[in-house]
Amino acid sequence: MFRSTQTRVHLLSDMEKLDKTLFRLEQGFELQFRLGPTLQGKHVHVHTNYPAKGKKFNSQEFHVLKWINPTGREDDSDKYCRLDLEIAGSYQYYFGCGDEEKTGGGYIVVDPVLRVGHERNILPLDSITIQTYLSKCLGPLDEWLDRFRVAKETGYNMIHLTPLQTLGESRSGYSIADQLELNPEFSQPGKNCTWTDVGNLTEKIRKEWNMLCITDVVYNHTAANSKWLRLHPECGYNLVNSPHLKPAWILDRALWHFSCDVADGKYSDSGLMPLIENEKQLKMLREFLLKDAFAPLNLWEYLQVNVEKAVEQFKKVLQAGGKPDGPEVKGKHKLNIIQDPQYKRFGNTVDMKIALELFGRHTNGPAAIQVCCEWFKKSLEELNVECYKEMQGHHEQAVNCIMETVRYERLAGSGPKLGPVTRKHPLVTRYFTFPFEDMPMEKEKLLLQNPDNACHFLAHNGWVMGDDPLRNFAEPGSNVYLRRELVCWEDSVKLRYGSKPEDCPYLWAHMKKYTEITAKHFCGVRLDNCHSTPLHVAEYMLRSAREHRPDLYVVAELFTESEELDNVFVTRLGITSLIREAMSAGDSHEEGRLVYRFGGEPVGSFVQPNLRPLVPGIAHAMFLDVTHDNECPIKVRSVYDCLPTSAIISMACCATGSTRGYDELVPHQVSVVKEERLYSRWNADGLPSSPGDVNLQSGIMAGKLALNRLHKELAEKGFTQVYVDQLDEDTVAVTRHCPSTHRSVVTVSRTAFKNPKTHHYRERVPPMCIPGQIEEVILEARTVEKDADSYVKDEKYINGMPEYTLELREHLQLSDSKIVKRGDATTKGRNEFVQEIVFDQLTPGSVIAFRVSLHSKSQETVGFLRTQLSQFNRLYKLGSLTDPNVPGILKISFEFLMSKLSLAELNVLLFRCDTEEQDDGGGCYNIPSWMTLKYGGLQGFVSVLSDIRPKNDLGHPFCDNLRQGDWMLDYISFRLMNKGGALREVGKWFNTIFTYLKHIPRYLVPCYFDAIVVGAYATAVDAVFKNMSSFVQHGSTLVKQLALGSVQMCGVGRVPTLPPLSPTLENVPHRLNPTTKQEEQCCVSVAAGLPHFSSGIFRCWGRDTFIALRGLLLITGRHIEARNIILAFAGTLRHGLIPNLLGEGVGARFNCRDAVWWWLQCIQDYCAMVPQGTSILSCPVSRMYPTDDSEPQPAGTVDQPLYDVIQEAVQRHMQGIEFRERNAGSQIDRNMRDEGFNVEAKVNPDTGFVDGSAVEIVGLCKSTVRWLMHLNRNGHYPYSSVSVHRDGEIHAVSYEEWNQRIQDNFEKLFYVSLDPKDPNEQHPNLVHKRGIYKDSYGASSPWCDYQLRPNFTIAMVVAPELFTVERAWGALEVAEKKLLGPLGMKTLDPDDMVYCGVYDNALDNDNYNLAKGFNYHQGPEWLWPVGFFLRAKLFFAKQMGQEVYSHTVCLVKNVLSKHHIHLERSPWKGLPELTNENGQYCPFSCETQAWSIATILEALHDLCDAEDL
């Protein structure tokens, strides 16, 4: 029943574009692609670049996945193709339909598996605790271990190193001069360290310390002084390969010269001094910039066209006889400037063909040509003005950006305060390299003319605030450099890869080698500046890395400010973890919210099934207290906040970490650019004041060790559930809970975003109640000030603040705590222990962590409960305990109990709607704050759980009801215990197992209730199928869902609905009547629909029963029940009819002309489908009404064989039926007209039709007559004819003769020919659709005969011999086009004047066609005709040839898929009676209808048979 493999199912939908949706999966998972409703029945091919077995990954190599159909037949509900995910990385899939290559697709990301130690133990991603080191601060390689030991001894298990390569002139840790060369500073004199040495070190750390190392890869830029860049300037954006940057370069040089002039004091006399100190000087700066720096450049000339030159060219074209192409079309063309690709001043052009179209139409003579040229010139001048305005706009933005930069860098209190403008600190950062001595501007411009010079003017890299990260801001089309919008890194050059390796071979090869070196020696990489790295470049490099290290751990920090854009990077690159930072939180509430956001599920979550839908997720988080390139938290918040923030982060169910210096309380940012000192080394015996040494006495390192250990333990031991509680504005409590052991760890952290010395915090934190028993205080700690010298920045080593230390106490009893006191201990309900905690000394900066378990009794009870649940799911073995006093009923497996139930009893266990329950003296379970459940049986509860479980909606009223009391538990068990027989035992089982459930903490009740009910439900459903036919047992999911409808609809109420069968009949079920204590028959009956037709006299209807019987009972293998229903209705035959409304027989109404024909059809189906089925013909029928005027007779008074009853029914029709209903009038039907109580039915002797009959009755009659003819020939039926009394004589009509009359007349009289001159057409003036079959023949209103309805498809199924194949196919095509809806079929042609597709039974107006639901059959879309339509389609498609048949199978599967979706989503687990137009919900319809379910199941059965042929 349960699977051990974790399987995720992705439903494919036509035109899905999921490239911005993240699907994360783990190695070992199975991914299944299944067809959504838009694709079922279509020829879908799924492609993926996930490598086929034995193949290497190639991102461009896609292969087609093979479809698997477990049942090998029927619909597409179970059809899937699969991937067994064993290789980490990012993979793409796409799919197409038929000849369409691609109609949808997306990505999946498979997480790597990280291993440490000699034993290669798995390091779970959520257990990662990482610490960042600036590589340049590590010193020589042989000193690294001493510095890395700081991370080891403080509990980190991963080290992140900034780039280890040779650095550029700026000494920034991310400005790499040579990507292939190890930084020579790591070598001691006389020894040259290599990458191999680094690799040996990281491997030693992995094996011996159980730690992993990752490092940065920087693809977006290189140091401006990189030697290889001088040799290969094509690797950057220079003025040769990127001439669009020329205007920006000229502006950049002009700004440099202007800055130099300001620095040299040339503007001092005008009031603009080198030291800018106020807004007045900024305003003055703006004016000088515009006047002296921008205006002289005339940069608009790069956008403009040379008017005189263009006009002269145009004139020559006109003089040469140039004419426009074709006639004038106003508004078709517009003159635009074509940008010169080399960006020369006035180098732009226009399209002369368009110029001719616009200005060259009237050129008859020199004067006219001159006029045309003037028009053309005026247009060009207007275009140039627009270009001028465009450039002025760029200038305005550039000046604004410059002013904001100067304001921040020189005036802002939070800025760097650069001081006077100098050449070292110019007014603005240069955007381009200039590898020459300074020279006048005019000479610099001349350098542009020489490509050998221009190629070395390279664009610097940087970032653009609010820019689209998927756009490369250095490419043509972007004006970032011209508009001065780049926050520029002057030490780095932006690299220009192009779109493929061939565009820049050296760069791609160089960076690939760099990547390979990194992947060889490190287990993972951090993608620096990921959001600005071209995606295709990063994809290529990471593919190369994964070739060398398949389980590459990839982390990145993105600044897209959009989860959707984040997903693009994560999915395309296969990023494992995204860096998130606590410093982004503005208060403790937000910090707690981030913990909840980045991992884990709610405490008390439902157990999810192993096979479940693939749902979008968010990227796995690496949650850091601070990243290495952000401001120091001590400056931004306070030194007291370092510990509580670390504690909050350590409780997150994701990777966590920090940067070196945070734990030591370094009170400033350790700058990646400016820092040159070394990290301190580990010295366990060193004094806190010793320069260059650190140990657990330093900063908060001892606390970090305890927190990191705790974080690792929580991840490794399965504490996957998280709860965050905000105790007050500064205090956050985080709970991590283990769902198998139900142990918890609770940390309470009082943050100190502001310094307690200067900020007033409230004196008391509110008490907290912790559910369970507190086993111990894991740790309590706080940052305190001590008597020590104040911080002095050491010249050689990066040192922390000696004046602060940590008070840490670990593994205490609660009574020994200095921070909290034990409050009141209370017991809520049974064995739910709650401990109140009073915070005595939880000062700002304090942390306390508790280990909590359930009360011993609760823990024991949970263990007993898990033992019982393990019969449903092996998962519950973990944490299970054996109850020495287990009640006897629980020693019996639930599967065994189910094996003792009949399908009628399973109807009670699983279903029964509210009216059925009320009929039995009860009702369905009601949740006062919400609603009444759909069923009293398990399905009512499972339908709700199925909706809330995937979302873990623990706040749902259903869950609230479970937590608040035992009412739901008692309802389920007592309802069953009040029944007799085997159901009582099932009720005892529930009552006993719920006793366990009542004695566990209430917050756990919903998840364990779900486990009990869903496990029991699944077992019961399995038992249902074991009692059904092999078609159901081996059928698809849709087949089984529909087959459950047989149990849903077929049951026995308090009073048996069917009249008693003959006492001589065998295999009739009996029960003891609880009131009379007498034995009585208890045959199942078929409810017409739920909830409206489910109980009492309105439960059972002849037409409904026998339309549904073949699907619900014969196909499902319930042959005895089918026989009993057939015989019961046979016993009520009167006037040659069976009842429409059965009314238990005694209240029957015989006002339905077609019910008897459906009954006869079912007897025929029974004989054909049931082994020795013809034996039913000899079964005794107890006639309730031996004559038309008889009073109801007790069973056994008059018995006849069924074949006599059949003969009577057919004989009476041939003779003619005419009577008035008994008790006619308002007492039996207040809506019926008086004439409606008169019933007539007779057979036309010329045609063989029942006069005025609907087409389906003619088909059913033909089917019956043909069947009786064959039965008689084969000796199974004693009658060969019927006799008619006419004019005092008896006339015999043989079945063979009757059969032939119908055959000869059907198409002649029912088919509406495509030929308007068809001589058989009696009313050509009434025809409004041709190529169809009439709905009736001989109707009292002739126009009704010609209405297009779906009923003719019934005749096609039961009597296909009546139809010519081509005509039948044409009529079915019309029906498909005009009548087929999403779920049902329109009951009337929408082109008909009385069509109305919305059924409103409550409407009370003067519109006769609509009031009181009169349009019931005039347009609303009924579901049951769909089954016959599909069956007819399949039958005739086979006659039309293989191609048509294949196309039809696709249609059938696609139609059925919509029913499958409805079944899955409906809480009723059924198909409705009808819908309003276009599938809209109809509130007046039964939510689930017997014949709807039955006929769809019949279509599936035919599809199966057809595919087996």
| Residues that are catalytic | 528, 531, 629
The residue type at 267: Y
C-alpha 1255/C-alpha 1245 separation (Å) is: 17
State how beta strands 553-556 and 768-771 pair: unpaired
Q: In the structure encoding, which two tokens stand for residue 392, read together?
A: 């002025």
Cβ count near 199 (within 10 Å) = 15
Q: Which residues make Cβ contacts (< 8 Å) with residue 1364, sequence separation at least 6? A: 1307, 1311
Nearest by Cα to 1493 from 911, 909, 905: 911
CB 229 within 8 A of CB 176: no
C-alpha 1428/C-alpha 1360 separation (Å) is: 12
The beta strand positions in 124-208, using DSSP E, are 129-133, 158-161, 165-167, 176-182
Q: Which residues make Cβ contacts (< 8 Å) with residue 1368, sequence separation at least 6? A: 1356, 1360, 1432, 1436
State how beta strands 1421-1422 and 744-750 pair: unpaired
C-alpha 1049/C-alpha 904 separation (Å) is: 10
Nearest by Cα to 619 from 590, 558, 576, 568: 576
CB 551 within 8 A of CB 240: no
Q: Which residues make Cβ contacts (< 8 Å) with residue 283, sequence separation at least 6? A: none
The residue type at 1494: A
Half-sphere exposure of 336 (CA within 13 A, CB side): 6
Q: In the structure encoding, which two tokens stand for residue 97, read together?
A: 């339909």
The residue type at 99: D
- Residue corresponding to tokens 């409550």: 1402
CA angle 810, 813, 817 (to 5 degrees): 70
Nearest by Cα to 651 from 577, 722, 730, 740: 722
Q: Which residues make Cβ contacts (< 8 Å) with residue 1175, sequence separation at least 6? A: none
Cβ count near 180 (within 10 Å) = 15
- Residue corresponding to tokens 């007014």: 427
Q: In the structure encoding, which two tokens stand for residue 567, read together?
A: 């997903």
CB 234 within 8 A of CB 399: no
CB 97 within 8 A of CB 555: no
- Residue corresponding to tokens 């991370």: 151
Cβ count near 488 (within 10 Å) = 23
> What three-state secondary structure class fits 553?
strand
Residue 1452: exposure state from Cβ atoms within 10 A (0-12, 13-18, ≥19): buried
H or E, element range at 149: helix 144-153
The residue type at 820: V
The residue type at 1289: E
Radius of gyration of the chain (CA): 42
C-alpha 1279/C-alpha 1296 separation (Å) is: 12
Q: In the structure encoding, which two tokens stand for residue 767, read together?
A: 């008490």
- Residue corresponding to tokens 């760099």: 514
C-alpha 149/C-alpha 573 separation (Å) is: 32
CB 233 within 8 A of CB 432: no
H or E, element range at 849: strand 846-853
Helix then strand count (H, E) for the chain reads 40, 58
Question: Where do the H-state alpha helices sit in 411-450?
Answer: 441-447
